[in-house]
Amino acid sequence: MSCFVIGNWKMNLLQVSAQDLVKGLVDRGAVSDDRVSVVVCPPYTLLACMHDLTAQGIMLGGQNCHHASKGAFTGEISAEMLSDLGCRYVILGHSERRRDYNESDADVGHKAKLAREAGLVPVICLGETLSERQDGATFDVIERQLRGLIDAAGIDVVASSVIAYEPVWAIGTGLAATSQQAQEVHARIREVLVGRGFTSHVPLLYGGSVTADNASELFACPDIDGALVGGASLKAEEFAKIVDHARRQPA
């Protein structure tokens, strides 16, 4: 099975710097092949000028979409609009959106449904905060988020999505989960999915301070199928090394 390395550029880069970054990735061979799917998720404003990425082996994703398919929603972007610009993926339920825009598990589930209808693969983020981990509630939080998501989106939609475990305390902090911490949550997610009747293999990515230095150990875990990368995805050399580590994992 191929694994994923997905770059979340967040609210960074302008046209020239984005094109430089992509050129840096292509020059270093950080492109999709039968071992690894390489995806970048630029801000909306850059999507149109990233059109020819797919031809170069890098797939395109959005960072969010609205929960309605169209209408009077000033400032919003629909899943279909992302698809129209060549996106194949969309990140949904990132903790920054859950925190800043009060997105609930049900909201994320509704968005995932629309994303699938528009032909996109949702990359759905889950994860506990530091205080939830310190309270020993990590598994409860993950299970609640998964339950809310499946109830709102349905098994078929979640079965054709990618799930990213992103502990909130690890995002942008330089403090990644250890491979053991990540693996035990991924194994739990897998158990919950199987318990809910999932028969297909839903790719499970880890996200939160992934770098070229820790990627290899994370990718070696049996239930980690790739990474969702923030800060390190803005540096061509670093991101290319992460892609390389993914490619070197035994099939």
Q: Which residues are catalytic?
A: 94, 166
Interface segment toward ligand PGA; rule CB under 6 A; list 77-85, 116-124, 148-156, 208-216: 208-216
Cα atoms in the 13 Å half-sphere on the side-chain side of 11 = 2
Query: What sections of the chain are H helices per DSSP?
Result: 15-27, 44-47, 79-84, 95-100, 105-117, 130-134, 138-153, 155-159, 179-195, 215-219, 236-247
C-beta closer to ligand PGA: residue 17 or 173: 173
Neighbours of 196 (CB within 10 A): 13
CA dihedral (47, 236, 17, 19) positive or negative: negative
When binding is defined by CB under 6 A, the residue of 207, 225, 241, 247 that contacts ligand PGA is 207
Question: Does residue 228 bind ligand PGA (CB under 6 A)?
Answer: yes
Question: Does residue 229 bind ligand PGA (CB under 6 A)?
Answer: yes
Interface segment toward ligand PGA; rule CB under 6 A; list 82-90, 131-139, 182-190, 224-232: 224-232
Question: Does residue 231 bind ligand PGA (CB under 6 A)?
Answer: yes
C-beta closer to ligand PGA: residue 32 or 214: 214
Question: Does residue 171 bind ligand PGA (CB under 6 A)?
Answer: yes
What's the distance, CA 55 to chain centroid?
21
Question: Does residue 210 bind ligand PGA (CB under 6 A)?
Answer: yes
Question: Does residue 213 bind ligand PGA (CB under 6 A)?
Answer: no
Question: Does residue 243 bind ligand PGA (CB under 6 A)?
Answer: no
- Which residue's CB atom is positioned nearest to ligand PGA? 230
Question: Does residue 8 bind ligand PGA (CB under 6 A)?
Answer: yes
Residue type, position 122, single letter: P
Q: Is residue 211 classed as helix, strand or coil in its secondary structure?
A: coil
Question: Does residue 166 bind ligand PGA (CB under 6 A)?
Answer: yes
Question: Does residue 172 bind ligand PGA (CB under 6 A)?
Answer: yes
C-alpha dist (Å) from residue 244 to 39, 60, 156, 168, 247 = 14, 19, 32, 26, 5
Answer yes or no: are the C-beta atoms of 208 and 105 closer than 8 Å: no
CB of 141 to ligand PGA, least distance (A): 17
Interface segment toward ligand PGA; rule CB under 6 A; list 19-27, 193-201, 229-237, 240-248: 229-237
Calpha distance 12→234 (Å, rounded)? 8
Residues that bind ligand PGA (CB under 6 A): 8, 166, 171-172, 207-210, 228-232
